[in-house]
Amino acid sequence: MTANLLEFDLEGLSGFCEELGERRFRATQLFRWIHQRGASDFDQMSDLARSLREKLKTRACIQGIPVISQHESADGTIKWLFDVGHGDAVEAVFIPEDDRGTLCISSQAGCAVGCRFCSTGHQGFSRNLTTGEIVAQLWHAEHFLRCRMGTESRVISNVVMMGMGEPLQNFAALLPALRVMLDDHGYGLSRRRVTVSTSGVVPMIDRLAQDCPVALAVSLHAPTDALRDNLVPLNRKYPLAELLEACSRYLAHAPRDFITFEYCMLDGVNDQPEHAKQLVDLVRQQAGGKGIRCKFNLIPFNPFPQSGLLRSPQPSILTFARILNEAGLVTTIRKTRGDDIDAACGQLAGDVRDRTGIAERMAQRRTIMLKTVQ
Ligand code: SAH
Ligand code: SF4
């Protein structure tokens, strides 16, 4: 059987090399060729013995995922739609900024959590991505961008798991993928610059803290269980009190000294001044009344027809942010990027699952806002 080497973290690749009867350090050379040089052909690997290259050709491959489309926005944002087979597609988005380049990537085709305001959630769950499929999004984007910019230095400085899917419901594949991102022989990203965003899979927040503590963003969206049960169905299993306790525990391991709370602004649903005041109380009650160290990121809702929801008007968002800020909670409002290319939450990919003509669907696409993070 041929192994796709994108599926391995360095430890896994070392094991694979041992199986081939090779010394473990060969894995480091191979890993660097793949992730630092973007190699997909063993013949490029000039410092590996020809005999090893021949052996690798029969036993392994370096296989990305096919790109269905690539769209570039006037503001420099680039979105790729990848074909993961059987009518499923996932997306990744590159967001250039003055001081960093952020890649937003997907962890699943579809999502089982089924949040009311999320188009991926409305599509339902198709399948978990493999480690190789998660890593391939970064591998493709990084080496495409280097080639485009004519540079050999790193272009992507931050990765956020904020594309399609719930990363903590695909932990087994996520963990080695995070290790590839962090590895100095891989992408060498710092833990503070890799963010896992979750709707609140409490036991897995603890696992992440133990196994690979990176920056954590938690999608809160509501200050009470009654409202959150309705917006994020997973709340019925892991209610707010448990979720916030898990966040407090995570802080003991986190590379940053705060948790980012994401809050999608839905007109008349969760955007009233009363909700902001309840949020202040909620986070202040944490850690035995000491409060939880956090920042809020308000996301203007990105509407889609089946949701029956609307984006909060800008004055409501500003009032909401002011209440939080005045209570001492650092709050930002997410910028809109990539509007002209639909650089957001799984809508185009969902269309592929419908098996309708992509070109036809793209012509119908709506204006979508793109998520950026700090
Ligand atoms: N499943 C994870 C990560 C992917 S979603 C999570 O829920 O955190 C990434 C972020 O986009 C989440 O904060 C999510 O709530 C938000 N989001 C989803 N659909 C959205 C929409 N239609 N408009 C604005 N934000 C949305
Ligand atoms: Fe899944 Fe996140 Fe969308 Fe909720 S917001 S349905 S958890 S991808």
CATH number assigned to the domain comprising residue 347: 3.20.20.70
Which ligand has the nearest atom to the CA of 197? 1
Encoding tokens for residue 2? 């041929």
List the catalytic residue out of 7, 91, 133, 262. Answer: 91
Let me know if residue 322 belongs to a domain.
yes
* C-alpha to C-alpha distance for 5 and 21, rounded to whole angstroms: 16
Q: Where are the beta strands (DSSP E) in 303-342?
A: 330-333
Let me know whether 214 and 246 are in one domain. Answer: yes
Strand partners, 94: 78, 103
Structurally, how many domains does the chain consist of?
2
Model confidence pLDDT, tens digit, residues 207-247: 999 999 999 999 999 999 999 999 999 999 999 999 999 99
Residue 366 domain-assigned (yes or no) = no
Q: Are 349 and 65 in contact (CB under 8 A)?
A: no
Of ligand 2's atoms, which has the minimum distance to the CA of residue 118?
A: 3
- Listed as ranges, residues in the chain with pLDDT below 50 are 345-348, 350-374
Do 119 and 105 lie in a common domain? Answer: yes
Residue 340 confidence (pLDDT): 72
CATH of the domain at 9: 1.10.150.530
Q: How far is residue 83's CA from residue 286's CA, in Å, rounded to a whole number?
A: 43
DSSP annotation of 2 reads P
pLDDT of the residue at 335: 82
* Long-range Cβ pairs for the range 200-204 (8 Å, 24+): 200/232, 200/234, 200/235, 200/238, 200/243, 200/246, 201/166, 201/168, 201/169, 201/234, 201/238, 202/238, 202/242, 202/243, 202/246, 204/168, 204/169, 204/171
Q: Is residue 262 assigned to a domain?
A: yes
- Any atom of ligand 2 within 6 Å of the Cβ of 201: no
Instruction: Report CA(177)–ligand 1 centroid distance (Å).
Output: 21
Please list the residues that pair with 161 across neighbouring strands.
196
Are both 74 and 57 inside the same structural domain?
no
What does the alpha-carbon distance between residue 373 and residue 31 come to, in Å, rounded to a whole number?
29
Ligand nearest to the CA of 301: 1
Ligand nearest, relative to CA of residue 106: 1
By residue range, what is the domain housing residue 265?
67-355
For residue 231 the two structure tokens come to 């917006």
Verify whether ligand 2 is closer than 6 Å to residue 246 (CB atom).
Answer: no
Domain assignment of residue 160, yes or no: yes
For ligand 2, is residue 115 a contact (CB within 6 Å)? Answer: yes
| Amino acid sitting at position 303 | P
Domain co-membership, 189 together with 101: yes
| Residue 164 identity | M
CA of 198 to the centre of ligand 2 (A): 8
Sign of the dihedral through C-alpha 363, 367, 373, 374: positive
- Is there a single domain that holds both residue 197 and residue 272? yes
Q: Are residues 86 and 23 in the same domain?
A: no
Catalytic (active site) residue 91: yes
48 and 165 co-located in one domain: no
The response to whether residue 120 sits with its C-beta less than 6 Å from ligand 2 reads: yes
Same domain? For 100 and 204 the reply is yes
Rg of the chain over Cα atoms, rounded to whole angstroms, equals 21
Q: Are residues 49 and 105 in the same domain?
A: no
Q: Which ligand is nearest to the CA of 113?
A: 2
List 17, 104, 294, 345, catalytic entry:
345
Cβ count within 10 A of residue 151: 10
Question: What pLDDT score does 349 carry?
Answer: 52
Three-state DSSP string of 245-302: HHHHHHHCCCCCCCEEEEEEEECCCCCCHHHHHHHHHHHHCHHHHCCCCEEEEEEECC
Let me know whether 24 and 149 are in one domain: no
Residue 344: what pLDDT? 58
**For ligand 1, which residues put their CB under 6 angstroms from it?**
117-119, 162, 166, 197-199, 219, 262, 264, 299, 301-302, 345, 371
CB count in 10 Å sphere of residue 23: 9
| 278, part of any domain | yes
pLDDT of residue 80: 97
State whether the beta carbon of 165 lies less than 6 angstroms from ligand 2. yes
Asked about 345 being catalytic, the answer comes back as yes
Residue identifier of the C-alpha nearest atom 5 of ligand 1: 162
Does the beta carbon of 113 lie inside 6 Å of ligand 2?
Answer: yes
Helix (H) or strand (E) holding 161, with range, is strand 158-161
From the list 131, 114, 115, 219, the residue with the least C-alpha distance to 171 is 131
Is 193 within 8 Å of 159 (Cβ atoms)? yes
Q: Is the CB of 199 under 6 A from ligand 2?
A: yes
- The residue whose CA is least distant from atom 3 of ligand 1 is 162
321 lines ligand 2 (CB under 6 A): no
Assess if residue 10 is contained within a domain.
yes
